[in-house]
Amino acid sequence: MKTTEAPFFSAQVIRAHRFFRRYNTTDEQRNQVVAAGFERCKPGYSIQREDFPYTAIEFVSDGSGELLLDEKPVHLNRGVMFFYGPGVMHKIDRIAPPGLGKYFLNIAGPGAETMLKKEGFISGTSIQIATPGELEPLFNELIRNGLKDTMFSDAICRSLAELIILKVRENSMSGQWRESRAYRTFGNCRRILEEGYLRINSLEEAAHECHVDSAYLCRLFKKFAHQSPYRYLIRLKLNRAAELLHDPAVLVKETSIAVGFHDPFHFSRLFTRAFGLSPTRYRALYAADTGGNPVD
């Protein structure tokens, strides 16, 4: 049974997109995503829990604040992910204007904590994600499916949660790397690409915007993001294109131009390679899923 609210959901939010699914006690041997969502926390947001009934993951998408996790201080900024659960105290406060955006995922079941430990993540610890932009679409897809109430919802949410955890493992940074000068440079370059991807259209433009040499930019992304900066840039553009295609009034050609592709055929090839569907087919399936009417 799905509901949009849970007793532990905070009201100190500007907006929220989240769900709560009661734990199916008739199937206690399987893990279940009981809650997930996105919250835009108000400046001054503060919450403290001495305990929590589920294995929990939280992921900062933007903004800054402070976290006390199992008595260890953690500065919150884009890409920070932290884990907690039963018996682990956590406190979030000192959220700076204009607020803090974060995703969360709560898992119930006998193997929930073991699932995290298997990938090297321990309750009461935090990590830095090298490419947070790759995780956000997965969290959004999880939320979208969790807000449904079909016979497949629990299984789909469970699979998406496992995929998120694997993706986190692929993109997590060790503490030593996080403190290095090279990683700080990478983080600054990544931020510039994420803020300016609509106007940046080549590796050379990306390097110019980041004030680094093209070859050095490639080395940074290969080391910390396991991909080229150009591939990361293209993925940002395509993720935005997918969001624009949710609007049936926007033509595919207009979407292509909006994200920096003036050749709609090239755009369609890249989109199909990334999502496994053409832009037209992607929008048609989204419209069918949400009851809309796609146009060309």
Encode pLDDT of 151-194 as tens digits. Answer: 899 999 999 999 999 999 888 765 555 567 888 899 899 999 99
For residue range 104-147, what is the model confidence (pLDDT) as tens digits? 999 998 888 888 888 889 999 999 888 888 899 999 999 999 99
Report the 10 Å Cβ neighbour count for 162.
15
Kindly report the backbone phi and psi dihedral angles of residue 4, in degrees, each rounded to the nearest multiple of 5, phi listed first.
-90, -10
Mean of the per-residue pLDDT values of the chain: 89
Report pTM.
0.73
Pull the structure tokens for residue 233.
């840039």
Give a three-class secondary structure readout of the chain.
CEECCCCCCCCCEEEEEEEEECCCHHHCCCCEEEEEEEEEECCCCCEEECCCCCEEEEEEEECCEEEEECCEEEEECCCEEEEECCCCCEEEECCCCCCEEEEEEEEECCCHHHHHHHCCCCCCCEEEECCHHHCHHHHHHHHHHHCCCCCCHHHHHHHHHHHHHHHHHHHEECHHHHCCHHHHHHHHHHHHHHHHCCCCCCHHHHHHHHCCCHHHHHHHHHHHCCCCHHHHHHHHHHHHHHHHCCCCCCCHHHHHHHCCCCCHHHHHHHHHHHHCCCHHHHHHHHHHHHCCCCCC
> Do residues 91 and 68 touch, judged by C-beta distance below 8 A?
yes
Between CA 243 and CA 255 the distance in angstroms is 10
Average pLDDT of the segment spanning 74-87: 93
Q: What angle do CA 84, 33, 98 make, to 5 degrees?
A: 60
In this predicted structure, which of 94-103, 142-151, 284-293 has the lowest mean pLDDT?
284-293
Question: Distance of CA 30 to CAs 26, 47, 65, Å?
Answer: 10, 30, 35
Split at pLDDT 50, 70, 90, the class of 296 is very low
Q: What is the pLDDT of residue 248?
A: 86
Measured distance CA(166)–CA(170) in Å, rounded: 6
CA angle 279, 275, 163 (to 5 degrees): 150
- Given the DSSP bridges, would you call strands 126-129 and 172-173 parallel, antiparallel or unpaired? antiparallel
Average pLDDT of 98-106? 95
Nearest to 274 by CA among 245, 242, 228: 242
Between these two residues, 286 and 67, which has the higher pLDDT value? Answer: 67
> Whole-angstrom Cα distance, residue 223 to residue 202?
20
Q: CA 200 to CA 192: how far, in whole Å?
A: 10
| Structure confidence at residue 293 as a pLDDT band (50, 70, 90) | very low
Q: 180-237, pLDDT tens digit by residue?
A: 788 889 989 999 999 999 999 999 999 999 999 999 999 999 888 888 999 999 999 9
Q: How confident is the model at residue 294 (pLDDT cuts 50, 70, 90)?
A: very low
Q: Is the pLDDT reported for residue 82 higher than 80?
A: yes
pLDDT tier at 10, thresholds 50, 70, 90: very high
User: Which CATH fold would you assign to the domain 2-175?
Assistant: Jelly Rolls (2.60.120)
Question: What sign does the CA torsion over 39, 234, 128, 213 have?
Answer: negative
The CA radius of gyration of the chain, in Å to the nearest whole number, is: 20
Residue 295 has pLDDT above 50, yes or no: no
Answer whether residue 75 shows pLDDT above 70. Answer: yes
